[in-house]
Amino acid sequence: MEKYEEVLIALRRIIRAIDLHSRKLSKESGLTGPQLLIMRSIHNLGEVTIGEVARHVNLSQATVTTIMDRLEKRDLASRKRSVNDKRKVYTYLTEKGQALISKAPKPLQQEFIQQFQQLQDWEQSLLVSSVQRIATMMDAEKIDAAPVLEVGAIEDTISPSTNQ
C-alpha cells in the first residue's frame, strides 16, 4: 500500500469516527456538535455575549448567531439586553437548555485531549504541524472550525462569509 493511501485511510477513519459520534449525539440529545459546544460555552462562561462565545469556541460571530437563533427557536437558549449597558446582549441557557446539557453525551475530543496532553512536547508539535500541513494540502485552512470533533449541518459549521 502506498503511503498516501495509508494517510487517506487514516483520515477516512477519523472522519467516520466523528460522523458516528455526531449521529449518537444527535440521536441522544437532538443537538449538533456546534450547538452543544455553544451551549456548554454559555453554561461555563455564565453571563456572556455572542462575540465572547464566538471567540471561546473559535467560530465566527455570524455562525454563532445562526446557531443561537436555532437554539432560541427550540427554547434552549435566550438573549437578553443588559440593563446596565443597552449596547450589550447576553446569552443564557433556559431551564430546558440546562436540563438538556446536563444529560448530553461528552464530546468525542475529551479522550483525545487527555491522550494528547500525555504526549511529550515534541510529539505534540509534530502532530500539530503534520495535521496543519494536511489541512493546507486539502485547501481547508480557511474553513471556519471550532476545536470540537463533531459534524453538523453545513450551515451550522461553516460561516456564511466562508466560500466553502
Would 9 be classed as within a structural domain? yes
Contact at 8 Å (CB) between 64 and 38?
A: yes
Would 76 be classed as within a structural domain? yes
Would 162 be classed as within a structural domain? no
**What's the pLDDT tens digit per position in 105-137?**
777 777 788 889 999 999 999 999 999 899 889
Domains held by the chain: number: 1
Cβ-proximal residues to 110 (8 Å cutoff; 6+ apart), any chain: none
Which residue reads 460522523 in cell numbers? 19
Would 163 be classed as within a structural domain? no
CA distances from 66 to 2, 8, 10, 115 (A): 42, 33, 32, 33
Contact at 8 Å (CB) between 48 and 61?
A: no
CATH number for the domain that contains residue 146: 1.10.10.10
**What's the pLDDT tens digit per position in 55-95?**
998 888 999 999 999 999 999 999 998 888 888 899 999 99
Residue numbers of the domain that contains 102 = 3-157
Statement: the pTM of the whole predicted model exceeds 0.75:
no
Would 150 be classed as within a structural domain? yes
Q: Give the mean pLDDT of the chain.
A: 84
Q: Helices 95-103 and 3-29, interaxial angle, to 10°?
A: 130
Would 72 be classed as within a structural domain? yes
Compute the distance between CA of residue 26 and CA of residue 105 in angstroms, rounded to an integer.
10
